Structure 1
Amino acid sequence: MEILPGEGVALAKVGERRADVERRIGGPVHPGRSSRAVYDTSPCLVLTYTPDETVEVVEIAYSGGGEEVFFDGVQLTFRFLDDVVADLAAKGHRYEPIDIGYRFEPGFAIFSMASMDASDLDPAADEDDPRLVCEGVSVAPYDYFRPPTDEEIEEYIRSRGGSV
């Protein structure tokens, strides 16, 4: 599955209405109308919706050897994270680290939740192998992936009834 940086994928795009997405790919695999919905596609799509029911973020999970996620000819998922970064950097794509991976211009992030071990990709890897596996890709406008400012954090705390 090819990503469209800053936009999503062919099946679901940022700003698209939930009803339109679900008309195309069917309902989520879990019941209810959560703001985060998982869809039975290959690879699996996880969409986050805004309160007005439009797509805010498109996430694509690794498939573990089935159909994976690509951008600019580079396989993003189910590979070592550092290898993906090196391949994208070699093609001139700018990036910066984020808490669980890297964000790339013009609008996507690759990440590892460390739920996979290096041995999942390299049978010769020992149990202490520190290499992380790229387990997913998030697609949204580039600034979506930046860390919040102190002012944004304070406003969030105030909006939840807390004091700063």
Structure 2
Amino acid sequence: MARMDIMPGVGVEAVKIGDPRSDVERRLGPPAHAGKRPRAVYDSVDPMLVVTYDEDDIVELVEIGYGVDNQVYFDGVQLTYRFMDEVMADLAAKGQLGTPSDIGFDLRAGFAIYSMDSLTAQDLDPDAPEDDPRRVVEGVSVAPYAYFTADPPPLDGTDEELDAWLRKRGMLPAES
């Protein structure tokens, strides 16, 4: 099984946040589509990379998808093509905390895992019932944590500040 390791907040070996488009294309070749769009798909590496460039053609986000044979890893943890709750449990055991998003989790280290719900639990577990709610991690986005949330949780705040932040997002019940 092939693997691609991420460097949180930085990217992957082939593409790093802050790289100019010209450097990326020198290393990977031209994107799989024509034109100078903000997002470019590079299929010269496995798994494929989707790179988002800012208005100055500088890398601001690196996305890596799943594959049955080619997966994304961080610190020995397989991130893609696994159940999201299992990935989060493995990451939490390594001290990696995240905040829920509408499609997955944003991790403070500088990456996000997500599911677009194109895979179902049955894709990983053929014996799973059709209505199995478990989500499958289909991709990983790498960028500094601030990219994923304009309102990050207070990392050095008081318990009350963190509770207020969690309540604001509906992750804790409102105070009575």
Report TM bin, short chain: 0.7 to 0.9
Deviation, 1:9, is 0.3
| Aligned equivalents of 1:148, 1:115: Cα separation in 2 | 28
Specify the alignment match of 1:56 in structure 2. Answer: 60
| Aligned equivalents of 2:149, 2:136: Cα separation in 1 | 22
- Segments of 5+ residues of structure 1 without an aligned counterpart are 150-164
Give the residue type in structure 1 aligned to 2:55: P
| Aligned equivalents of 1:7, 1:107: Cα separation in 2 | 8
Q: 2:49 aligns with which of 45, 52, 58?
A: 45
Specify the alignment match of 2:75 in structure 1. Answer: 72
| Aligned equivalents of 2:40, 2:145: Cα separation in 1 | 22
- Segments of 5+ residues of structure 2 without an aligned counterpart are 153-176
Identity %, equivalent residues:
59
- Please say if 1:32 is aligned against 2:31: no
Deviation, 1:138, is 0.3
Specify the alignment match of 1:116 in structure 2. Answer: 119
| Aligned equivalents of 2:113, 2:37: Cα separation in 1 | 24
Give the residue type in structure 1 aligned to 2:79: L
Deviation, 1:99, is 1.5
Deviation, 1:148, is 6.1
Pairwise CA RMSD? 1.2
CA deviation string 1:110-143 (max 9, x = no partner): 0000011111100101211111000000000011
- Please say if 1:14 is aligned against 2:17: yes
TM-score, with structure 1 as normaliser: 0.87
| Aligned equivalents of 1:76, 1:122: Cα separation in 2 | 17
| Aligned equivalents of 2:150, 2:18: Cα separation in 1 | 21
